[in-house]
Amino acid sequence: MSTQLEQCQFSESIQKLELFISCRQLDDLDTVSVSDPFVVLYLLNSQKKWLKIGQTELIWNNLNPNFATSFQIEYQFEAQQHLKLEVHHFVSQTQSKIIGIAETTVAEIAGSKDQLLMADLFNSQKKKSGKIIVKADQVKQCNDEVEITVSGQNLPDTRFWFWHGANPFLRFYRLRKDDTNPVLVYESEFIKDSSNPTWKPISCRAQKLCNGDYQMPIKVELWDYRTSGKHLYLGETSFCIEELRDAFLQNKPFLKEFRNKQKNNSPAGTINFDNFILKQKHTFLDYRQGGQQLNLILAIDFTASNGNPKEKNSLHYMTENGNPSQYLQAITSVVEILINYDYDKKVPVYGFGCKPKFNVLNTNQTLHIFPLNDNPDDPEVYGLDGIVQVYKNAVQKMQLDGPTYIHPVLAKAMEMAQEVKDKGSENYLILMILTDGQTDDLQASIDDVVASSHLPLSIIIVGIGNADFKKMNILDNDDKSMVNSKGFKAIRDLVQFVPFNEFKNDPALLSKEVLAELPDQLVEYMELMKIPPKPPSYQKNNIQMSQPMQNVFPQLQVELTDQQQQQYKSMIQDVQANQQSVKFGIATQAFGQGLAQQGFLNNFVKQAPSSDPNPQQ
């Protein structure tokens, strides 16, 4: 029987719609020029709350924008899926004004003629403020990626006197055979004052560019950029991936002539395709069918801000009739999915942020990582039932304390991941942290995450309760802006943060949200390390037409520059130094003291240093 992760990966192409957004005749809210719009998309969840799906790019000075950013959303024929689209005018990085709002359903879009819906926008005074157009395409199964480098030659000169050339940029559109409504899928940067520009390489999935149809015509429009937003149309042409691929296979030059349809199809220069790569992208299923194993690590927050487990307002409170705590609900919902991929079902389970009162670990000192099963030699428990039981046994034997430090837990997971990598194992580790609040060692945690991007590790953080989780969203790093203390960025995405309260009444939706990014994170790491899936699903990767390709890659070897290699070594050394600087502490009571003196607890009992004498929990 296939598991939920496999089902999600296998069926996403036939269950999803891709939504493309345009607006027309928007109200002008800009006092200097015209509105600078972007669109935010929301989905109504089962608790009747609007969840943000994403937002488009910002387009400057345009009341009739076509957005290149699209949204993929599951289409459930039997369910009523309500959508809200908010069109905003950009004011600053922290402020915007709503131009108008429209509400619809996925079924209404899918059922519209040519799957194209035009709806009125209404402002806060309930007055019409423009129109929004939503175009839907069924997502087709295609994991290939394309890289295309293009340049222009002899483009029209639209400048005079001391200025020459133009500020050319390109727009790429899908042209479906069954309708006449092209959808914008990519827009290039503009090149200043040039008649012979070379644009940045285009790198995207073939599904995004042509929905996996290599015979689909792709229209390319040539425009002259104007700061007013009133860009000048210069010409257009079209091509398809199949003819581009055939030309490069035969080592033939491939170029197309722009024609200006507003000027009787007069010539407007050429677009040259200088480089083309068609690359097969492996999927999570490919690795899974090749025997890829996941190993789960679990860490649970027992700081005082969770509340006394014996009191009803505690996040660790369990009723006498056995109703689970919020922590236990989250554990059950997510672990029952992940445990299917753990080959031996043995999971190390740790606690942090409290003074445990166990038989072996019995201390008056706050511990920031310790084995929840009270076994320093072997912190593993078997399966979901084992995790649930050890949690129930431990929760009443804690003196909750603080502050909230997650660096010791991250460092332990990194140590385990580094060991896996050094051994040449292809196992992939997943650290799941359940916590009720902000981390009080944010910078150390950021440094850990950046260093971990080179390791076979994903980090899932589930926020329990109603605390402010802004710092956790920083670690999620969806906008790729997070840098460590030395100014380096993570080379891949490996953290997913989910607030439990938004999904606690829907366990299936919770597990889906928590695990949504994990398959892509694993594939991204394997590609970075040049590790292909094992047979039977292995297929030759990287069909590159412009130059010979290597078919065999040394496993666990990263193709990094010397500078990147040095940065990686430096980050690992910093983490190891942080681990060494953490003082080991344990109670002076009988069992704990004896074990501490013999060094048995060094890997588990760590007291994180605090720069604040009175840190907040």
What CATH number matches the domain at 285-598, 3.30.70.3270, 1.20.120.80, 3.40.50.410, 2.170.190.11? 3.40.50.410
Residue bearing tokens 């010791």: 408
pLDDT at 428: 94
pLDDT at 407: 94
Q: Check: CB of residue 410 under 8 Å from CB of residue 297.
A: no
What's the rounded mean pLDDT across residues 297-314?
93
User: Is pLDDT at 617 greater than 80 in this prediction?
Assistant: no
Beta bridge partners of residue 184, listed in sequence order: 173
- % of the chain exceeding 90 in pLDDT: 55
Q: Check: CB of residue 575 under 8 Å from CB of residue 410.
A: no
pLDDT at 571: 60
The upper half-sphere exposure of residue 83, i.e. CA atoms within 13 Å in the direction of its Cβ, equals 25
pLDDT at 572: 55
Mean predicted lDDT score pLDDT of the chain:
83
Distances in whole angstroms, Cα of residue 94 to Cα of each of 325, 438, 475, 482: 37, 22, 20, 18
Helix (H, G, I), strand (E, B) or coil at 16: strand
Q: Specify the amino acid at residue 518.
A: L
User: Is pLDDT at 71 greater than 50 in this prediction?
Assistant: yes
Smallest CA-to-CA distance from 37 within 256, 299, 229, 269 is with 229
What's the rounded mean pLDDT across residues 270-275?
97
pLDDT at 5: 44
Cα first-last separation, the chain: 44
Compute φ and ψ for 316, nearest 5 degrees: -100, 5
| Residue of higher predicted confidence among 526 and 585 | 526
The per-residue DSSP string of 439-460 comes to -S-HHHHHHHHHHHTTSSEEEE
> Would you state the structure tokens that stand for residue 39, as one six-digit string?
């669109």
Task: Name which of 336-340, 415-419, 438-442 the model is least confident about.
Answer: 336-340
Beta bridge partners of residue 44, listed in sequence order: 50
Q: What is the largest CA-CA distance in the chain?
A: 94
What's the rounded mean pLDDT across residues 244-262?
95
User: Is pLDDT at 594 greater than 80 in this prediction?
Assistant: no
pLDDT at 479: 67
The yes/no answer on whether domain 4-138 falls in CATH 1.25.40.10 is no
pLDDT at 564: 54
- Superfamily per CATH, domain 144-280: C2 domain (2.60.40.150)
User: Is pLDDT at 132 greater than 50 in this prediction?
Assistant: yes
Q: Check: CB of residue 129 under 8 Å from CB of residue 26.
A: yes
Separation CA 145–CA 137 (nearest Å): 19
CA-CA-CA-CA dihedral for 592, 596, 597, 599, to nearest 10: 140
According to DSSP, residue 225 is labeled -
Instruction: Give yes or no for a cis peptide into 403 (omega within 30° of 0).
Output: yes
CATH 2.60.40.150 residue ranges for the chain: 4-138, 144-280
User: Is pLDDT at 1 greater than 60 in this prediction?
Assistant: no
Distances in whole angstroms, Cα of residue 360 to Cα of each of 352, 389, 409, 581, 593: 16, 18, 20, 25, 9
pLDDT at 384: 94
> Would you state the structure tokens that stand for residue 612, as one six-digit string?
């604040």
What's the rounded mean pLDDT across residues 107-128?
92
Confidence band for 117, pLDDT divided at 50, 70 and 90: very high
What's the rounded mean pLDDT across residues 560-575?
56
The upper half-sphere exposure of residue 130, i.e. CA atoms within 13 Å in the direction of its Cβ, equals 28
Q: What is the pLDDT of residues 452-488, one digit of tens each?
A: 999 999 999 999 988 778 777 778 776 677 888 888 8
Q: State the pTM of this model.
A: 0.64
| Residue of higher predicted confidence among 288 and 50 | 50
| Residue of higher predicted confidence among 490 and 179 | 490
Q: What is the pLDDT of residues 42-70, one digit of tens each?
A: 999 877 889 999 999 999 999 999 999 99
Distances in whole angstroms, Cα of residue 126 to Cα of each of 37, 121, 129, 191, 273: 19, 9, 9, 42, 49
Separation CA 401–CA 422 (nearest Å): 36
Confidence band for 552, pLDDT divided at 50, 70 and 90: very low
User: Is pLDDT at 602 greater than 80 in this prediction?
Assistant: no
> Would you state the structure tokens that stand for residue 254, as one six-digit string?
């491939």
pLDDT at 31: 82
For residue 490, count other CB atoms closer than 10 A to its CB. Answer: 19
Sign of the dihedral defined by the CA atoms of residues 80, 502, 385, 3, in that order: positive
Give the contacts of 95 (CB within 8 A, at least 6 positions apart).
none
- % of the chain exceeding 70 in pLDDT: 82
How many residues would you count in the chain? 617
Beta bridge partners of residue 279, listed in sequence order: 145
User: Is pLDDT at 335 greater than 50 in this prediction?
Assistant: yes
Q: What is the pLDDT of residues 170-223, one digit of tens each?
A: 999 998 766 678 899 999 999 999 999 999 999 999 999 999 999 999 999 999
User: Is pLDDT at 399 greater than 60 in this prediction?
Assistant: yes
Separation CA 271–CA 83 (nearest Å): 39
CATH 3.40.50.410 residue ranges for the chain: 285-598
Task: Name which of 261-265, 362-366, 473-477 the model is least confident about.
Answer: 473-477
Q: Check: CB of residue 504 under 8 Å from CB of residue 329.
A: yes
Give the contacts of 464 (CB within 8 A, at least 6 positions apart).
301, 306, 315, 326, 327, 330, 434, 435, 436, 500, 501
What's the rounded mean pLDDT across residues 440-456?
92
